[in-house]
Amino acid sequence: QVWLVESGGGLVQAGGSLRLSCAASGFTSRISVVGWFRQAPGKEREFVAAIDPNGGNIRYADSVKGRFTISGDDAKNTVYLQMNSLKPEDTAVYYCAARDPRTVAMPTAPFEYNYWGRGTQVTVSS
């Protein structure tokens, strides 16, 4: 079992920055990929970014490329999402997810992840 806890959300003006954290506990050595997803009201949960903590592979959604950066700190079992140049359309609940079955391609669909945090709200005002 793996537990994930997100933090760092909040209210920020457009153009501002936030850094989200995802702290993992439990059988963290089994984790093959950690991803960030977001869900706005009335919309489906969508992929934001993912990182392979062991191999270093990273993938981003096109909508956040160049603005968001995902990184990991193995010593702290924590994955970060640095979000810069935030836009009102980035407003959503942000979820951290983890997968333990190994995969060749970086997974981007929610069903490909088997552990989820409860989410943290990010609100970007115009």
Q: Report the percentage of the chain scoring pLDDT > 70.
A: 100
- Determine if residue 8 is left, alpha or beta; phi over 0 gives left, psi from -120 to 50 gives alpha, anything else beta: left
Q: How many CA atoms within 13 Å lie on the side-chain side of 111?
A: 0
- Choose between 7 and 105: higher pLDDT: 7
pLDDT tens by residue, 5-37? 999 999 999 999 999 999 999 988 888 999 999
Q: How confident is the model at residue 56 (pLDDT cuts 50, 70, 90)?
A: confident
Residue 3, token pair as written in the block: 């537990």
Q: What's the rounded Cα separation, in Å, for the pair 81 and 88?
A: 17
In angstroms, the Cα distances linking 59 to 17, 34, 56, 66, 70 are: 20, 11, 10, 12, 9
Q: What's the rounded Cα separation, in Å, for the pair 40 and 87?
A: 13
pLDDT at position 21 is 98
The average pLDDT across 70-91 equals: 96
Q: How confident is the model at residue 126 (pLDDT cuts 50, 70, 90)?
A: very high
The mean pLDDT of the chain is 95
Q: How confident is the model at residue 101 (pLDDT cuts 50, 70, 90)?
A: confident
Q: What's the rounded Cα separation, in Å, for the pair 26 and 105?
A: 25
